[in-house]
Amino acid sequence: MLTEPAAAMPIPGHIDPVPVPRAAATRPDGRVDLIGLSKDQLRETLAAAGLEPRQAKLRAKQIWHWIYNRGATDFALMTDIAKAQHPWLTERFVIGRPEVVEAQVSSDGTRKWLLRSPDGQDYEAVFIPDADRGTLCVSSQVGCTLNCTFCHTGTMRLVRNLTAGEIVGQVMLARDSLGEWPSQPEGRMLTNIVMMGMGEPLYNFDAVRDALKLVMDGDGLALSKRRITLSTSGVVPMMARAGEEIGVNLAVSLHAVTKEVRDEIVPLNRKYGIEQLLQACADYPGANNARRITFEYVMLKDKNDSDAEAHELVRLLRHYQLPAKVNLIPFNPWPGAAYETSTPERVRRFSEIIFEGGISAPVRTPRGRDIDAACGQLKTAAEKKSRAELDRIAAEKQAALG
């Protein structure tokens, strides 16, 4: 099996980051992690390990159900597989979860995990509960290549892409934490997923697509594509493909309405300008008034929050006839940030102008500020701790999980 990490790039240039296939890191015990494999890949993996084709097909179907519907991580719990075969499976395979380096729970119920991969790379996932939904914010890369100046992850270099297993593993871990096995469509807390964590999902397209197909599979995690949103900073050439091959809701990190300001805070704009981006949104497959495109707009004091910019945003969305909603996001400060949060009055007036233009513009309530919930903050905070301290925290978390 191959993974496709993207090459690091200091700022977006004339050439996109090119995924370079490399062999997946092997586990120290030599076993193969089954998380992230498609049904066909699971069957092929069992066959390659020595099961005859018909048995591999049957076992793949059974294991798939136990992994993605019931959340099992131990083959001994799989009661419809002969006990005599459990040791054979355990010797060759594992049903893994990301290592939890640190877990935090905010006073508002937000949960954040700092996770570590087998090759020692750290990434984050955040669960945000609301009255009518529970949203998991999922990372797609370790670090990021886009250098958006308001984003804490933008201060980190891109290390590599996450694999499909590492992406879907964040969902599995959250379901473990919330006690939501077996899978069921009604009554669960985790109802929505946003690919809006660390990294640019469309620069890790194949792994994101494969992971989301596992999440959407009706025989497993069974989350509707209408409850999944993929957020991009504007990788225009990949947007149509995302609509066709994944088909989930689209969110666009817009954050500015002029070339000058967007070039500064979202450097990708120097490559794919606002007009190209909005045209790609207009062409996005499946976008309509029932499935509006969400435009994310972080409110930065005296940078992008004037009345004139609110009016220009309305004009642009009307010009491209976009079925749109604007999410206004008060800036979540982090140490060293060059920006301040717009005042509540300024945010409110900005929202009113957009609403008056006939476009929904709710203001997102800041969440998890007491637990470093801005993307990338927990990773940075953890890097300041000693290795011994991190090992102690990890051991305590493992003990608490039993």
Catalytic residues: 124, 375
- How many whole angstroms separate alpha carbon 311 and alpha carbon 270? 23
C-beta pairs of 240-244 under 8 Å, 24+ apart in sequence: 240/280, 240/283, 240/284, 240/285, 241/205, 242/202, 242/205, 242/209, 243/284, 243/285, 243/286, 243/287, 244/285
Tokens linked to 375: 């993307």
Give, for 248, the enclosing helix (H) or strand (E).
Answer: none
With b for 16 or more beta-carbon neighbours within 10 A and e for fewer, the 314-323 pattern comes to bebbeebebb
- How many whole angstroms separate alpha carbon 371 and alpha carbon 386? 19
> Could you count the other beta carbons within 10 Å of the beta carbon of residue 96?
19
Residue with tokens 């499935």: 291
- How many whole angstroms separate alpha carbon 112 and alpha carbon 91? 33
Helix (H, G, I), strand (E, B) or coil at 232: strand
Tokens linked to 41: 């890949």
Tokens linked to 394: 């990890």
- How many whole angstroms separate alpha carbon 212 and alpha carbon 40? 16
Task: Judge whether 174 and 135 are in contact, CB under 8 Å.
Answer: no
